[in-house]
Structure 1
Amino acid sequence: MLRNFDESDLVNNKCSVQGKRSRVNQNRLLEFRVSSEVGHAGQEFLVRSATLWLKADLIRTRENKCRTEIFVFKIISQLPDTITLSSQDFNRAMSEPITLALEESRSGWQKINVTTIVSKWLTDSRTDKLQLLVDCSCCSHWHVHIFNREIDKISNKNRPFLVIHTDPNSAKRVRRRAIDCSADSGNQCCKQRFYVSFKQLGWEDWVIAPPGYYANYCRGDCGHPRTPDTYNNFHTHVIEEVRKTHHLSGMQPCCAPLKFSSMSLIYYGPNLDVIKRDMPKMVVDECGCP
């Protein structure tokens, strides 16, 4: 997750939960990695916000009201895949936790602010993965979906995921061979950057991330003289020769998308399940004259 977004660079499977069985004190670790499409740990990302989404379902109300809290620890030491730590060793291996109080009136998906943890991880060249330990106190009347049991792996719809919003100018981008529209483009066929806000579309109640994206579009015309090597296929060349020979203005070729790319969308499904899907052909990357 996931191509790069100008508003949400790292989303869900761009940093995805790994299938390894790493455990600390019987709790399965959440492990996230940066995909090769986005970059790598140690690359300078300016993180604006990072949110860990966890599903916590209330099983039953409780008479004896104790404070129910989720704790999120970052692993800061190299550990074996499976280990049981004493209290002293645990404190040395973990960062200070981020806490979230669970409220019975807010059963379901919980959002935990992990901006500080993720910022340090993405600028730390020593590790390419982020390991988090999730624990919960006074949680006997809750089911927190952290996949400690093998059977839990079947319920992918409840898997934790990470959404990161970065400064689009902070990460190195792959420069595409395309003509972008500018003040000097004139009426030449070019790609116009165009941002679509899901909030303005009225979709913010079901789209989780990103808040929007650069869909882009093509503008300009293709009426300028062209050499044979600039045509994408022989058919277009023939039609253009016919148009010029017979002065058929109605056959004017159009500036159109030549290359698209996908984008990842995280949204609520019909039953309020969280779905992550790579949507094909959502972003115009290149424009040209066929």
Structure 2
Amino acid sequence: MLHINTLTFPRRNKLHPYMKLVYLQISFSGAKESATIEGTLVQSFRTIRVPEFDNPGWLWFNISHLKASMTASELVVRRRTLHRESLTVNVTIHSIGTELNKLTISEPLDEKVLNLDEPPPFGYDIFNVSLILKQWEADIVGFQFQFTDDSGSLVIHDALTQSLYCLNTSSPNEPLLIAYRIPLSGTSKTENQPSRRDSQQCSRVRKRKSLVHGTTPGECSLHQWYVNLQGPELQHRILEPHGYYANICRGHCPTETSGQEKTEAQNPLWKTESQNTTISQIPRCVPQTYSSVNMIYIAESGDVSIESLKKMSIESCVCK
């Protein structure tokens, strides 16, 4: 997926690696592109155990806090093994219900052809399970993978699931269920621009260099101001980034004076009035443009969120 800008899930000691990928993708997507999906909210849920249906090949999630506004959902599972020889299998993903203590298995929610000798992008297989948002009312939802080979013969589902994917709930790569507002087809513009990361890094370097060499000393200009987020009070709340450049505007703003104003200033009768000029009429060196900072932080609820925070960094200054 990697095209979201906010992600929350139950707190763990360490971030889920997939969330780290999301954060990195957002960080290099640019503030303007982030603004195009402003307001997107994403919820994420980690696996739980359901003792009465503790089949080792099934995945269970508590979605009692799922927001009604969610419009799409994906199941993210980490591929942990590769076959030594070229081999393909067909896999379908099904939801499992437990209404009245009876199991019900749905029709296929998504289907993929897996090349077992090749790793998937970023190491994760991602399945579209959006249908559960329309038809699910219970707090607990389960998933089962069903496999067939090229001949159509059924494969032992649970055994292959355990062999193929990382299912350990204590592992940082445990399965992740993601629900979000934007449609599945809304992919990031950066996916087809592999060189954008390098170009943006160069752009940031040029901007920082201009802070030092771009203006005459004393004039209104942008100055670097680095905010360290690794202090004792913040390092356990803000996970990424470790700091950022907030910057400040500082310097002299020249006052334009017309010929008539100069004459009036020399006249003692106008002296008192000029002294009473309010400070609000004096040009000040103030921020002109801002940029956002993408941040991973622990919210008051204990969830971990990715959010693009507006006006966190000053990009340019002006006398106003």
TM range, normalised to the smaller chain? 0.3 to 0.5
Structure with bigger gyration radius = 2
TM-score by length of 1: 0.44
Normalized per residue, the structure richer in helix is 2
